[in-house]
Amino acid sequence: MKVQTSRFGMLDVSDDTLLTFPSGLVGFPDFRRYLVLDPPEDADYQWFQSVDEPSLAFVIMDVDLLQPDFRTNLSLEGLAELDMTSADSISIMAVISIPSDHPDQATANLRAPLVVNGRTRQGKQLILHESISLRHPLFHDPAQGQPHPEGVTEAASV
């Protein structure tokens, strides 16, 4: 299948690489098919590219890289729609926001992760408890030895 994108040009992809989000994503309910694309360099991030809208793509990261014990935040109720079995593997990804004027203050949204059943390739964006970080800092401020605060108010579209 051919997929047109605004960032990567025309892509030739196999149907079995498509991820389907039957409910769409928060703010994008009509776009339900996505691809995960690896960047050309060895990096911890990936691109989450809509198949249905060429200009819609997000930077994502595996939550295990950000918070290794994150899976304890997931409920069985939230995963029910994914037709999970005990043998299924799941991928959990966080959407990354990168402020256009301060890319060093990039954050990950751990409150609304993307969860994918590896067997069915069906996904869902879960909305978790508000105590979970909406803006988990990706980088630490070397001057203070602390992560950047969650006060980033403007993010670049990615």
pLDDT digits (tens, 9 = 90+) for 91-131: 999 999 999 999 999 999 999 999 999 999 999 999 998 88
H-assigned helices in the chain: 63-66, 76-79
Domains of the chain, CATH where assigned: 2-140 (2.30.290.10)
The confidence score (pLDDT) of residue 4 equals 94
Whole-prediction pTM value?
0.84
pLDDT at 35 over 70: yes
Nearest to 134 by CA among 158, 113, 103: 113
Query: At residue 50, what is the residue type?
Result: S
H-assigned helices in 25-87: 63-66, 76-79
In whole angstroms, how far apart are CA 35 and each of 27, 59, 114, 118, 133? 18, 12, 13, 13, 25
